[in-house]
Amino acid sequence: MEAKQLLFSEPGKFSHYTHRKHLAGKTFEGSGVRSMCGVYFVPSQDHGALPTCSTCEEMYSLLPKE
Tens digit of pLDDT for each residue in 23-64? 888 888 888 888 898 888 888 777 778 899 999 999 999 999
Residue from 62, 25, 61 nearest 43 by CA: 25
Alpha helices in 1-66 (DSSP H): 23-29, 54-61
Q: What's the whole-model pTM score?
A: 0.70
Distance, in Å, from the CA atom of 22 to the CA atom of 55, rounded to the nearest integer, reads 22
Distance, in Å, from the CA atom of 59 to the CA atom of 66, rounded to the nearest integer, reads 16
Least confident of 2-6, 14-18, 40-44, 59-63: 2-6
